[in-house]
Structure 1
Amino acid sequence: MRLAVLSDVHGNAVALDAVLADIVTQSVDATLCLGDHVSGPMDPAGVAERLMTLDGPMIAGNHDRWVVEPRQSGQGTVDRFAAEQLSEVQHKWLAALPATAVFNNEIFLCHGTPASDEQNWIDGWYTGRAAILPNEEWVTSAAEGINYPIMLCGHTHLARSVRLRDGRRIINPGAVGFQLVHGSPDARYAVIERRGGRWFTTLRVVEYDHEAAAAQVVANGFAAWAEVLNSGWAQSAPF
């Protein structure tokens, strides 16, 4: 079994198209999506249109909640922009996504941690946007009761794979649409594969026309996003 894992597209259809084209070359059996799909000032409706055609399980992230429910306290201007761009059908699709899912009885999907779509699991941040690996006790405790060999998360936009002492793996594929501290604008996703009873992980980096995405955010009135999209560095997220 060979699977693509996506997270944090954040409305960036240009990056998503590049990643989907790369996935075609990887001969995967399904594509799994970990949330924060449309909340970005590029092309939220275009992203929704593409994701709705995919064949694997898909969950919601914290920004998806904020797009769907305008009264939630976390919602920002970008979430409101995305909400205004989506069709009624796309709103219903987004609202119906679960917070977590299990695929093939061996892969657990969440956005942040199993308990919260706003918690960071295998990365600690954001003072000065420094990224650190949290302590082992916290990472392991957050996995308590999740008895699957593969656990997937997103939210931090940082690609990382962690193996617990009992052999379970926690994998963050990084962000498709919006880099924060990788130091390059390239899109990130993961390919996981089970061969001979063992799991293997590849964290993939895909170049795309980030300048086109940056032009979209400027045209849509969110110029603060342009520098981050073009550089892959951010002292603070411009949400």
Structure 2
Amino acid sequence: MRSLPSDKQVNEDVYFCHGTPNNDLVYLLEDVSRGYALLRSDSEIIDLLAGQKSKLICCGHTHIPRAVSLSSGQLIVNPGSVGLQAYTDEDPVVHSMENYNYHASYSIVEKIRSEWVVQNIKVPYDYQSAVTESKKRNRNDWVHFLSTGRRI
């Protein structure tokens, strides 16, 4: 199943995408073929960029906050997740993503003297409200993910 990208070229230097520039369902930074998230090699990430040359690329999809500098001079930033710090998915293979805590995460990225500065920030939030809603829907997996940031 292929998903059309929901990307956005903000300006010459900044590009946003959910997964990769060509597919919202493919993780840009992580390989999950072993059932867990493993950071891809520099060359794999560059290949998945499919010619996207922006200096700052902000992606998501994995819910794992990180900033990765590439040999191409590009910086890839994933801010993480505001409200689901772990999950298990079956596509492309059964795999789990984990942040190991329940805190919301986001990133602040600013350009200072021609360099990108990234702050990955984790903050507490009322995750118990999300846990309560998950219980109402009999989503015990989400109760665990939201409470612990860990896979089951």
Alignment partner, residue 13 of structure 2: 106
Q: Please point out which of 191, 202, 214 is paired with 2:131.
A: 214
**TM-fit CA distance, 1:126:** 6.0
Unaligned 5+ segments in structure 2 are 87-97
The structure 1 segments of at least 4 consecutive aligned residues displaced by more than 3 Å after TM superposition are none
Instruction: Classify 1:213/1:126 alpha carbon distance in 2 versus 1 (closer, same or farther; 3 Å).
Output: farther
Alignment partner, residue 46 of structure 2: 140
Instruction: Classify 1:182/1:126 alpha carbon distance in 2 versus 1 (closer, same or farther; 3 Å).
Output: farther
Paired with 1:124 and 1:212, the residues of 2 have a C-alpha distance of 32
Q: Please point out which of 171, 192, 216 is paired with 2:77.
A: 171
Alignment partner, residue 196 of structure 1: 113
Alignment partner, residue 20 of structure 1: none
Secondary structure of the structure 1 residue equivalent to 2:142: helix
Alignment partner, residue 223 of structure 1: 140
Paired with 1:188 and 1:144, the residues of 2 have a C-alpha distance of 28
- Under a length normalisation based on structure 2, what TM-score does the superposition of the two structures give? 0.83
More helix by share: 1
Paired with 1:204 and 1:122, the residues of 2 have a C-alpha distance of 19
Paired with 2:20 and 2:110, the residues of 1 have a C-alpha distance of 22
> Pairwise mapping of residues 46-65 of structure 1 onto structure 2 (< 5 A)?
none
Q: Which has the higher contact order (CA 8 A, sep 6+)?
A: 1
Kept in 2: contact 1:99–1:110 (CA 8 A): yes
Kept in 1: contact 2:103–2:125 (CA 8 A): yes
Paired with 2:67 and 2:105, the residues of 1 have a C-alpha distance of 13
**TM-fit CA distance, 1:131:** 2.1
Q: Please tell me whether residue 182 in structure 1 is matched to residue 89 in structure 2.
A: no
Letter in 1 for 2:12: N
**TM-fit CA distance, 1:178:** 0.3
The number of aligned residues is 139
Unaligned 5+ segments in structure 1 are 1-61, 66-97
**TM-fit CA distance, 1:215:** 0.6
More strand by share: 2
Q: CA RMSD of the aligned region, Å?
A: 1.8
Instruction: Classify 1:126/1:141 alpha carbon distance in 2 versus 1 (closer, same or farther; 3 Å).
Output: closer
Letter in 1 for 2:27: N
Kept in 2: contact 1:123–1:158 (CA 8 A): no
Paired with 2:141 and 2:100, the residues of 1 have a C-alpha distance of 17
> Pairwise mapping of residues 57-136 of structure 1 onto structure 2 (< 5 A)?
99-125=6-32, 127-128=34-35, 130-136=36-42
